[in-house]
Amino acid sequence: MLDVKDNERYKTFTRRTAILSSGALGLFGVLLSRLYYIQVLESSEYTMLAEDNRVNVELIPPLRGRIYDRFGKEIASNRKNFRVILVPAQVTDINRALDRLSKIVPLTEAQRQKILRTAARQPKFSSLTVVQNLTWQQFAEINVNGPDLGGIQPDAGVTRFYPYGPELAHLVGYVAAVSEDEIHDDPVLVLPGFRIGKSGIEKTVEKELRGVSGTRQVEVDAFGRVIRELSRNEGSPGKDVVLTLDMALQSFALKRMAGESGAAVVLDVENGDILAMASVPGFDPNDFNLGLSQDTWDRLRNDELKPLLNKSIAGQYPPGSTFKMIVALAALEAGVMSPNETVYCAGKIRLGNHDFHCWRRGGHGWINMHNGIKHSCDVYFYEVAKRTGIDRIGEMAKRFGMGTPFDFGMLGEQPGLVPSRGWKLANFGESWQQGETLIAGIGQGFLLVTPIQLAIVCARLANGGKAVRPRIIRSIGEDSLAPSEAPSMGLSRRHLKIVQAGMNAVTNELRGTAYGSRITEKGWEMAGKTGTSQVRRITPAERAAGIIRNEDLPWKRRDHALFVAFAPVSAPRYAVSVFVEHGGSGSRVAAPIARDIMRQALALDPVTRTAIGPIATGRSIRPPISEEG
């Protein structure tokens, strides 16, 4: 029997046991209820969270639209790009990861630093491209060693490819990595290796070529490595673009211009289709897509021939004597000069205290408008310009498309310059001088034009005075871009025929300045105009000693060489402009090049051949045709 003391102790123990048991039961109840809440009431939410850790959703970059010439030749396409990507969130030490990778694929110090800078400024969960355009052997070795590389993953993407390289660098342009100020709110732009258009057509229609990104669901392990793909939505590929270009003619023009610095443009005089637009020298756009080295960039940027400049639309030069047709038309329209009226050329004229010289030291004698164009007499056009005045000349130049960009889809186009009294006063605070009008009469002084503008001038002269505009894009996807109707410029047909006849005499009449560069094939005859624009002033001492030959001068001090032409004379269809920087002579250098390009255009005759129509998105077209087509 328990004594009183033991009994008290027993009761105390029993109470404590009951309290502890009750507490334990309470805690167990709370635990059960929590488990019930998590596993039953909230099971769907936690299942989803667990699934999110197991399943990743990734963006799929859209396949970029292709670019074709008018006959279906692929001039910008896509090809496989074996590359390596890095996910910083899955790597504890990026430098160590790169050390492991460099045992398979050598990395330069510059590449390492670029990777580290990129990883530092973008979110850790975002992947970045470490190296691309791997060989199949390198790609296979990285796949085999994948488990040991941790956070570094092989990937088979797509990259842009330009099969014609430098031949279309300026026109088609190139793609390159997205810069920080170009990202904005589009998540696809931060994808590894994603490229966007940086120049040319690639940039002009970037939005249409880019397409819409897709998505894919992948199952990953605890280390973030992809185990399998669960689902995929490909998105929408970019739209294919068809240009007005004839690649065969483009290639010929570039070969003919090889070794020079300048541009050549070929147009359809009726609708303004650009059939060839060559700028030399060029560069390989694939270099920009694959990653340009600093040495290559410095070489391109510092080259005095300016290979990065699209001279056909951005090169601004004095038009020289190719401007004389504008001066003649301005005088005829103003009624200040009859085409039969003659001017005596003794080799120079005097205005005030200055002599204004003709290119022919002994002069041309008595000369009318026809022969003034044929022989390119400077004294004759000094007189025409003096009578006409700079305002009328400038107004006619603008009617022909000078002094303003055409905005036809090529970024970087320059406007040139058509000076006026008001322009000089606003820019120099000085009044216009009559001597400057004389200089403008032979295409010198303040006047500046681009090769595309000269081609349009020639096309408008050839087609009877219709204000045709240049066109480079035929279709985007399924949408055809029809050429706009060219309105009449309101010029007298009689006056146009006078100027056309003068241009015909340049090439097809004996002693014309380009008679030696005529096209002799019957029915293909070409009408043209030579131009030689000075880049320096010839001093009186040089004239007294006999003008120094261009060949004896440093390259940068030589005259520019120009030539414009249309053909066939009987039914004009093609217009050509050729500009050779510091070429020395329009008749000796530019005219033969233009003749050969025009002859090739007439032989290929691209405007009469069947071109491809609009291309449905994602649909392949027939294989590229051969050169003979």
Q: Give residue 12's pLDDT band: very low, low, confident or very high (50, 70, 90).
A: low
C-alpha 480 chain-centroid distance: 21
**Residue range 57-89+110-120+127-185+193-212+228-243, CATH number:** 3.90.1310.10
Residue pair 217/42 in contact by the 8 Å Cβ criterion: no
Q: Which residues 6+ apart lie within 8 Å of 512 measured at CB? A: 374, 375, 505, 506
> pTM for this structure?
0.81
User: pLDDT tens digit string along 454-489?
Assistant: 999 999 999 999 999 999 999 999 999 988 889 999
**Spatial separation of the C-alpha atoms in residues 393 and 554, rounded to whole Å:** 34
Residue 124 has pLDDT above 70, yes or no: no
| Positive/negative CA dihedral, 506, 511, 513, 516 | positive
- DSSP-derived secondary structure letter, 191: S
CA distances from 575 to 86, 277, 560, 563, 595 (A): 53, 12, 20, 11, 11
Residue type at 397?
A
Q: Give the helix/strand (H/E) hosting 36.
A: helix 4-36
Instruction: Collapse the DSSP code of 360 into the 3-class scheme (helix H, G, I; strand E, B; otherwise coil) and give the result.
Output: coil
pLDDT at 131: 73
Could you give the C-alpha distances from 127 to 59, 100, 160, 193, in angstroms and in order?
11, 18, 20, 10
- What kind and span of H or E run contains 14? helix 4-36
How far is residue 559 from each of residues 307, 317, 444, 535, 584, measured CA to CA in Å?
Answer: 20, 11, 12, 6, 5
Range name among 108-117, 372-381, 520-529 with the lowest pLDDT average: 108-117
> pLDDT tens digits, residue range 37-66?
656 655 565 455 445 556 777 777 788 999
Catalytic residue among 199, 312, 321, 587: 321
H-only helix segments in 83-235:
94-102, 109-121, 136-144, 146-149, 169-172, 200-204, 206-210
Please determine, looking at this structure, whether the domain spanning 247-288+312-608 carries the CATH number 3.40.710.10: yes
pLDDT at 179: 78
SS3 content of the chain, % helix, strand, coil (to 5): 40, 20, 40
- Residue 425's alpha-carbon distances to 131, 393, 417, 418, 458, in angstroms, are 57, 18, 15, 14, 31
Which H or E element spans position 263? strand 262-268
Extents of the domains making up the chain? 57-89+110-120+127-185+193-212+228-243, 247-288+312-608
Buried b (16+ CB within 10 A) or exposed e, 57-68: eeeebbbbbbbb
Could you report the per-residue pLDDT of 398-430, keeping only the tens digit for each?
999 999 999 998 989 999 999 999 999 999 999
321 flagged as catalytic: yes
How large is the average pLDDT for residues 103-117?
76
> What is residue 554's predicted lDDT score, i.e. its pLDDT?
76
pLDDT for 132 beyond 90 = no
Residue 609's nearest CA partner among 369, 275, 384 is: 275
* Dihedral (CA of 295, 301, 302, 304) sign: positive
Task: Write out pLDDT tens, residues 280-313.
Answer: 999 989 888 777 778 888 898 998 999 999 999 9
